[in-house]
Chains A and B, each alone.
Chain A
């Protein structure tokens, strides 16, 4: 009887952010869903443990009995990551983070994003640097949405950002990772987690991000705007897991010519 070979999976360090360990490397947004029920189901299917939310004015005259996002996505179950989406200046981003901290009873993990223009929603990096500095000084744990410039990524890390989140492509574009070499350079230089934030369109894009060695992926539109968001949320979960394992497994080298998979010895023809 032959001994059962034990399958040794490569060792992986779990994702750690602000002193907390996460099993899931998929972070998801809560925008663009049909309703709160679909939001809740999609997030459950994604397996995400960190969920990003926006901070906005409470409408006067809004039905006060309407369910609140945080009733569906409970801070007791999920790590809520408030974002500064929609901010075009450091000042607005800092104000938003302070309001979010009050809203979430002192929870100080934030996703900083300062946008540059409406057409591309490309990050305004000069304002992002100003905001990051002020927020870190004020005790916030800053996960920063940024351009895929390896030098700026390093600078944000050196300032004390706890995670670097370069875009793969413009927010909501679904174009996939456009400059994988830059993402790879950022990953190689970083000692804090690197997550691709924005640009993912489908599961293979998430897989690619993970194969490049990213610590995680953050997405919203790719799930929310899929024909079946709940199915896509699950596909993204699998895509992220597959990409992570492929990265840890170490892919074979690429070659220009073929290399036969069956032995040449022992042929009978």
Chain B
């Protein structure tokens, strides 16, 4: 299946979870926040949250700004 991650298409195996995606991005354990289809998915739910084809995922972190 394909999901949109931060605007880019990413191929993932069927049944992949959010935790799988984060591992795929080599971001496991990093301080970040995730939205799927504009809803926050709390960190504690990442291992159980199954992604679906066409989901729009946003992965964000804190950067410098004023």
Whether A56 contacts B60 by the Cβ 8 Å rule is yes
User: Is B40 among interface residues, defined by CB-CB distance under 8 A?
Assistant: yes
Q: Could you tell me the distance between the alpha carbons of A103 and B27 in the complex, rounded to whole angstroms?
A: 14
Cβ contact within 8 Å between A54 and B26: no
> Mask for B23-50, Cβ within 8 A of A = 1, else 0?
0011100111111001010110000000
| Chain B residues with a Cβ closer than 8 Å to the other chain, count | 27
B31 touches A54 (CB 8 A): no
Least distance between A206 CB and chain B CB atoms (Å): 15
Contact B65 A68, beta carbon cutoff 8 Å: no
Q: Which of the residues A32, A55, A59 comes within 8 Å of B66, measured between beta carbons?
A: A32
The answer to whether B64 touches A58 (Cβ under 8 A) is no
A54 touches B32 (CB 8 A): no
CB of B61 within 8 A of CB of A103, answer yes
Is B66 a contact of A58 with CB atoms below 8 Å? no
Contacts of B59 in A (CB 8 A): 57-58
Task: Specify the chain B residue showing the minimal Cβ separation from A218.
Answer: B66
CA A32 – CA B25 in complex, angstroms? Answer: 27
B16 contacts partner chain A, Cβ-Cβ < 8 Å: no
Contact of B64 among A32, A82, A99 (CB under 8 A): A32
Are A53 and B32 neighbours in the complex by a CB distance under 8 Å?
no
A228 to B65, CA, bound (A): 19
Query: In the complex, what's the smallest C-beta–C-beta distance from A181 to chain B, in angstroms?
Result: 26
A199→B20 CA distance, assembly (Å): 44
Q: Select one of A58, A171, A219 contacting B60, CB under 8 A.
A: A58
* Residue in B closest to A56 when the chains form the complex, CB atoms: B63
Chain B positions within 8 Å of A, measured between CB atoms, are 5-8, 10, 25-27, 30-35, 38, 40, 42-43, 58-66
Which 3 A-B pairs give the minimum distances between C-beta atoms?
A: A54-B65, A29-B66, A220-B66
Q: List 22 A-B contacts (CB under 8 A).
A: A30-B66, A32-B64, A53-B65, A54-B63, A54-B64, A55-B61, A55-B62, A56-B63, A57-B6, A57-B59, A58-B25, A58-B30, A58-B61, A60-B6, A68-B62, A69-B61, A70-B62, A98-B40, A99-B60, A103-B32, A103-B33, A104-B62
